[in-house]
Amino acid sequence: MKKTPEERAYELLQELSLDEKIYQVTSEMIFDVDEDYETKRNPMFGSYRNPGHFMHQGRSVPASPSQVTERINRDVMLSIEAQPHHIPPIENGEALHGAQWGMCTNFPQPINLASSFNPGLVEQVADVIGKECSAAGVRQVFSPVVNLARDCRWGRTVETYGEDVKLSSDMGAAMCRGLEKNGVVATPKHYADNYAFGGRDSNYSETSERTMRETVLPPFKACFDAGAQSVMAAYNGWDGIPCSANKHLLTDILRKEWGFDGFVVSDYNGVEGIYSAHNLASSEAEAAAMALKAGLDVILPFDWFDYVKEAVEKGFISEEELNKNVLRVLTVKFRLGLFDNPFCSPEKADEIVRCKEHRNLALAAARETIILLKNSGILPLKKSNVKKVGVFGQSADLIPIGSNYSGPYNAPWQGEDAPTPFQALTEYLSGCAEVVFYSSNDIEKYAPSCDAVLYITSILEGEGSDRSDLRLPSVSVQRNKEDDAGFIVDNAEQVITDNQEQSIIRLCKANPNTIVILENGAPVDMTAWIESAPAVIEAWYPGEQGAKALAEILFGETNPSAKLPVTVPKSAGQLPLNYSYKPSGRGYSYCDNDGKPLFPFGYGLSYTSFAVDNIRAELTADGVNISFDILNTGAYDGAEVVQVYLSSCNCEVVRPVKELKAYKKIELKAGEKKTETISLDAEAFYYWNLSMDYGLHNGKHCLLIGNSSENIFNSIEITAENGKLYL
């Protein structure tokens, strides 16, 4: 009878020496992949940062997929040949919106993907990312980020799927399914509450157990239910203990309560932080023991072999305790088939990576993730009415991928057929209109003669770049290496050549057909210019084909259908601000601000209009079905996202004013009518009661049906009593 991965792992564990075991829970990362790489590399480690991520620096031409695959194959071979029991390593890397080992297909950023409100699209994207990772031999990725972005000052908002529990859970689960189906270990992060007051990254969490259960933890559980075989512990501490050594998080909840049977990795130098940052351990050896005993299994990214061995020798951790960590790592390696098929085909990698099909999906994804925020009627532009388009803003001639996890280390991402907005518009309007890229110094001189003008914004953000000011920057900004918490995100510097807010105001005054295009990863303060701007598009960072999608949207070839996955505040003074807050005992406003957002969660415009009526509900054995008729009443084909929120009262505990529970993206041709159904299972009505039991407890509920968190069409009342639902 064929042995299971668990049985094979257990048998192998019995044969390993202590040193071999320690190597399986430690790792190595080498930044310089040059001639002496193999003399620096220790082939005994069980986990490596894949060398493909670092192969491109200093080269005039980036390493090809086949070259990366050959290098990773050799990395794997060196380990197998050197180790007494021939254990293959896991080659790991990043993949937030594309395989980050080289010049792979570069998809829209996660905040974009969330804007699609289409988990099916996200799973398609993840499937491609998984294929491009596994083709080169990268078998674990540190993705997705399922922390909720409830304070947009956090620089890593761009990496997230927004502020909502349901949306983040769906998108994270979709990403994990797409990766894991290709034999790539998904690693949702950062477990658990990864930033704190003011949007400060990795700061200590004051979040209560109730709030953790209600908001922070569900997206992680959704990822594990979808098959994720790993998880990354966060840098910060919670409830008195660093997450990397938090037994309540890593063992009690993760394994005992949820049944997770994969392995836990540290964030980079996270275990060191137990000693050097949190000051909880007296030495690195003690920190290693605390983490491993609590349930963390692999210490990333640098060599901690000596510290772990010291921990065993000094009795901080026993070999029997260490066996649990090693067994979890070996089991996943057997599940992945690394022992049986450790190598990849370089020729196949060249065929797969950035093939036409994958680039086409990048374009399709961009089309679904760009949001129309404001339109006074000037959009869509018509080719027949436009002879000259003026383009302003320094991002106009940059590929709109963002600077965050968007390519190999120390080398810019590049790819054929990946235009800048200026290039894409020039090609799109070839033969019918002139497109000119102007300096903001020349707004008054050239803007009035254009039939339409665009201003494309710039902002520096990402890991290590939290913000205190949400306004568009008007001065040069940079982040220094000593201030940057990220090891493999390039230290970015951005020179801003003009006052962006003033340039937008000047442009709107000079030309009534001004369109502001936001390239950003988190909401910006628009109060200085939003009233002046006739049209505003939230492009986020739509990826390598995003500029093409933007040109199509501007001219109506593609009808925007994306919705905001975050609440857009009027200013930083309102933060933190999200739609799913719990009721105030008095009010929500300031003396100079009504407390309402500039744009609500779930909001997004279209070039057409929709009517939703005949809304009705029916109880089922599993929950509730909501049926309705939807009609495209406008002149354009389009898609609407119908959203269902839950508002509750008379429960055992205070509940949020509303929570997204279901949604459906519906495509309709102009004049088309459909009857649609959205199903909610009974768990949509569950909550954690006063005794912290999760279930269908008593309460009165109201289902709110709309197309944003603020624009509600209709409501349906449902009562939960004695474990049953009643209409």
CATH (one of 3.40.50.1700, 3.30.420.40, 3.30.70.270, 3.40.50.2020) for 371-574: 3.40.50.1700
Q: Residue 687: its pLDDT value, please?
A: 98
Helix 305-313 with 319-336: angle, nearest 10 deg: 140
Tokens of 24: 């399986």
pLDDT for 478: 59
H or E segment at 436? strand 434-437
What are the residues whose beta carbons fall under 8 Å from the beta carbon of 351, sequence distance 6 or more? none
Do residues 464 and 197 lie in contact, with contact meaning Cβ atoms separated by under 8 Å?
A: no
- Residues 587-607: tens digit of each pLDDT: 888 888 888 999 999 999 999
Q: In this structure, what are the phi and psi dihedrals at residue 253, rounded to the nearest 5 degrees?
A: -85, -55
**Residue among 432, 466, 468, 465 nearest 451 (CA):** 432
Task: Of 400, 338, 426, give the one whose Cα is nearest residue 541.
Answer: 400
List Cβ neighbours of 497 (8 Å cut-off, separation of 6 or more): 394, 439, 440
Burial label for 322, CB within 10 Å (0-12, 13-18, 19+), is buried
Please give the single-letter amino acid code of residue 583: P
CATH H-level, domain 610-726: superfamily = Immunoglobulins (2.60.40.10)
pLDDT digits (tens, 9 = 90+) for 342-390: 999 999 999 999 999 999 999 999 999 999 999 999 999 999 999 999 9
Cα–Cα distance, 392 to 430 (Å, whole number): 19
pLDDT for the residue numbered 493:
63
Residue with tokens 């040109």: 551
Size of the chain, expressed as the number of residues it contains: 727
pTM over 0.75: yes
Residue 252's Cβ-count burial label (10 Å; 0-12, 13-18, 19+) is middle
Q: Where in the chain is the domain with CATH 2.60.40.10?
A: 610-726
Handedness of CA 438, 441, 445, 451 (dihedral sign): positive
pLDDT for 307 equals 98
Amino acid at 425: L
Q: Are 502 and 474 contacting, i.e. CB atoms less than 8 angstroms apart?
A: yes
To the nearest 10 degrees (0 to 180), the angle between helices 5-15 and 319-336 is 140
Give the pair of three-digit tokens for residue 509: 């005054």
CATH 3.40.50.1700 domain residues, the chain: 371-574
pLDDT for position 586: 86
* Short-list 720, 385, 408, CA closest to 555: 385
For CATH 3.20.20.300, the residue range(s) in the chain are 5-351
The list of the chain residues with pLDDT below 70 reads 476-487, 489-494
Q: What are phi and psi of 493, to 5 degrees?
A: -135, 135
Q: Rg (Cα) of the chain, in Å, rounded?
A: 26
Q: 273 in helix, strand or coil? A: helix
Beta carbons of 81 and 436 less than 8 angstroms apart: no
Give the Cα separation of 23 and 80 in Å (integer): 13
Report how far residue 717's alpha carbon sits from residue 715's, in angstroms, rounded to the nearest whole number.
7
Whether domain 5-351 has CATH 3.20.20.300: yes
CA dist., res. 653 & res. 634, Å (int): 44
- 28 bridge partner residues: 48
pLDDT of 589 reads 86
Q: What integer pLDDT is reported at residue 461 of this predicted model?
A: 84
Q: How many helices (H) does the chain have, and how many strands (E)? A: 20, 29
- Reduced to 3 states (helix: H, G, I; strand: E, B; else coil), residue 629 is strand
Q: What is the per-residue pLDDT for 404?
A: 84
Residue closest to 236 by CA, chosen among 266, 213, 260: 266
pLDDT digits (tens, 9 = 90+) for 144-186: 999 999 999 999 999 999 999 999 999 999 999 999 999 999 9
Backbone angles phi, psi at 291, to 5 degrees: -70, -50
Distance CA 545, CA 446 (A): 29
